[in-house]
Amino acid sequence: MNPSCNLFIIGPTGAGKTTIGRRLAEHYGLEFLDLDQEIEQLCGVPVSRVFEVEGEAGFRARESQLLDECSRRRGVVLATGAGAVLDPANRRTLVERGYVLWLQATVEQQLERLAHDQQRPLLASGDRGERLTAMAQVRTPLYREIADLAIPGVQEHVHAASARSILLIDQHWQRQHAA
């Protein structure tokens, strides 16, 4: 069962948006897009380099432009960047153009999953735990505001997390369309 013409995945860094997104796209027969990868293709450099050269504001402008373009397509699973929800126009775009799935993860889960990841520009300096906590305080209410469905983060293998996500999406979609 396809929950919408588009499925948009939001959530914090390290929640599994890309990994689970690929599996959801395969299951629902949709094209998979990762917003950060789309930015890298457009710019020809890693996201970390875009941050280095243009700063966060420059990156966010590119992110908003590509979110608008990618979300206009039909039949996609789009894994957004963790901070894409910061812009009110982005939140409106996500809500209006697809089904929004919020993959949740605690700061402890994020720290564990990102322990060896050195590619995240916003985690490059300072205490990662403090940084992730500060981001969660700002972003969690925004995720909550636009999510059609929240998938709680639990410690499980990606196959189990994907299967659980599919089950919850299908149950939620069936309940909404049975009424």
Q: Which residues fall in the annotated binding site for ATP?
A: 14-19, 120
Q: Which residues are annotated as a binding site for Mg(2+)?
A: 18
Residue pair 4/98 in contact (Cβ under 8 Å)? The answer is: yes
Rounded Cα gap, residues 131 and 167, in angstroms: 33
Six token digits for residue 164? 């659980």
Alpha helices in the chain (DSSP H): 17-28, 35-43, 47-72, 88-97, 107-113, 128-146, 158-178
Using the 8-state DSSP alphabet, how is residue 157 labeled?
-
Strand 149-151 with 99-103, pairing: parallel
Q: Binding site: residue ranges?
A: 14-19, 36, 60, 120, 139
Contact 101, 7 (CB under 8 A): yes
Helix 47-72 / helix 35-43 crossing angle, nearest 10 deg? 110
Residue positions forming the annotated binding site for substrate: 36, 60, 139
Please name the residues in contact with 11: beta carbons below 8 A apart, sequence gap of 6 or more: 17, 82, 102, 103, 104, 105, 143
**Per the structure block, which two tokens stand in for 159?**
């196959």
